[in-house]
Structures are given as C-alpha cells and as structure tokens.
Chain A
Amino acid sequence: MTSDLAALLAEARASGDPAALAAAVPYARFIGFSVERDQAGLVGRLRYAPHLVGNSLLPALHGGTLGSLLESIAMFELLLQSNAPAAPRIISITVEYLRSARPVDTLARAEITRHGRRVATVRAVAWQEDPGKPVAAANAHFLLAAPEE
C-alpha cells in the first residue's frame, strides 16, 4: 500500500488544516471524530451519535469513545506540531474518567508536555459545554522514531 497518509500529513502541515487527514482515518469516521483549528490551536470534536452511548439508562457516552477522542487529539497534536516523519506509535495511555459524559458533542485539546528525540509525552483533556469541567483526561507516550523498513 502506498502512503497516502504521508501526503495528507504533508498537506495538513503546509495548510495548517488537519481536516482532510482526520477524514482519511476510517475509525475517525466511525466514531465521528474531526479536528478543527482555532486561535488557541487544534480542537478535536467527537460528534454525538446514538451509537457512541455506553449506558443508555443514564444516558452516558461509552468510556472507550472518550479514550478514542483523547488518543486521537494527542496524536494529531503531535503530527501537526512536530516534524515526526511518520505516524508516531503509541506506547501507553492513561485515561482518567472525571465526569459522566452526556449525549452531546465532546471537545478535546492536547498539549505536548515533553518532546524528546525518541519519545513524546502528550496531555489531552476533553469537555462538553464547560472547558472548566472536563469529562476525561489522558496522558500518553508516543515513540517518534520511524521504524526501520
């Protein structure tokens, strides 16, 4: 398979617009994840859809959808704010669930805590109406070195 992703990544870096790159990821389409850019940087959005629910009696979003949102925005932050040659490989992620997430859109931002030569540490936070009341947060480590082919 040729690397269409590398071309989309180069485009996203050149234009500063990651939307097309996000749309090329099948799982991003599956969960309704998109990325926009505002004055403060990249914002990920998990568009609410009924299939994202984990507890239909509350109702609340599935914890896995929030983990997916946080991992995705952390990866995008790294892809667009660093010169990593290929998709960084995730080493580990710790997700903290802070509040029950209601069936509405969820937003997320990420910040690179440390960018080393081989490993980057990224912190991501997700919220719904109020950024001061996060619903989930995550810390993730990524391996940056391109694998030897």
Chain B
Amino acid sequence: MWNLSPEEERALIERIHAGMIGGVPFNTALGMRVEGVAEGTATVLLPYRTELVGNPDTGGLHGGVITSLIDAGCGLAVVLKLMRATRIATLDLRIDYLRPATPPRDVRARCECHKVTRQIAFVRAVAYHDDPGDAIASAAGTFMIFDEGRSPMGETVSKP
C-alpha cells in the first residue's frame, strides 16, 4: 500500500486533472474534479449545475449524472491500483439509488478498486453529499484491462 504526503497527493491530483481535462471531454463537460487519491482509491466531486437536472420539478440530478461520476471515478481507481499506462474499459456497472440527491448540493463519489486479476478489475463505490455513511447511491462493477492500447487517464499516472 503506497501512501502519499499531502504535497505528493496534490501533485498527482494535478496530473490527473490535466489528463481528465485534456483527455476526457465528458468529464470536463460535467465539471468533475478529483478531491483525493490513494492506492486503488479515488474521491471525485461533481458540483451541482442546473444543466444536469433530470427532474425539472424537483431540481434533482439525472441518474445518468451519478452513473457518469461513478464510472469515471471507478476507472480512475483502477488506474490508481495498476499505476501503469494501460487502457481499461467498463465491462459492467450496477448502481443502487439509495435515496434522492438533495438539490442543489454537490455530489461526491468514493471509488475503490478492491481486486485486480491479469485482465479484470473489480470496483465498488458510494456516492454522497458530505457523509459517505449517508449514501445517495452505491455501486459495484468490473473493468477490462488491456495491455495494448493507450488511455489518456492511464498516461497521467506513474508509480510515485
């Protein structure tokens, strides 16, 4: 298990932001940010925006926004587990919507890659406002790991 000093973590987050902004247009469009990284773990933030609303009567975010945040955060968690420039692709992702998000609060997702094999990575995540114990959604999924090919996310990290 690697641990980063606060300075190292900030530097790695900066590199990830450069990759996410330069290389992943939809993450940029959503306004996603990375708040914390550790081995196999990423906490990502999605600031509330009215363009992302799914139900104009309540102002609640669309479920697809939560799916997108969790998919991106889990992909990052896999990269932070592998720490090599490899291409990954989501195989499946199951999301349980535990309760509606409260507009206009920001949403975070804490995403963890808890197991990797040669070809498959296993992930789980919780989405919440401020307290991971009071989750909006929980998720579990799998990713394919390709050792050929390139990924904008993979190339932003290297072993600290």
Contact B53 A97 (CB under 8 A): no
Our count of residue pairs bridging A and B at CB distance below 8 angstroms stands at 146
Most A CB within 10 A of own CB, among B51, B64, B150, B152: B64
> A53 on the interface (CB 8 Å rule)?
yes
- Interface flags for B46-90 (1: CB within 8 Å of A; 0: not) read 000011111111110111110111011001000000000001011
Size of interface on A: residues with Cβ below 8 Å to B:
43
Shortest CB–CB separation between residue A136 and chain B, in angstroms?
A: 9
Taking chain B's interface residues, is the majority helix, strand, or loop, or is none over half, making it mixed?
mixed
Q: Which stretch from B23-31, B34-42, B117-125 is at the chain A interface? A: B23-31
* Residues of chain B at the chain A interface (Cβ within 8 Å): 23-30, 50-59, 61-65, 67-69, 71-72, 75, 87, 89-97, 100, 149-152
- Interface pairs (20), CB distance under 8 Å: A1-B57, A1-B59, A5-B57, A25-B62, A26-B53, A26-B56, A27-B64, A29-B51, A50-B25, A54-B26, A55-B152, A63-B71, A64-B26, A64-B65, A64-B68, A71-B63, A94-B95, A95-B90, A96-B92, A97-B93
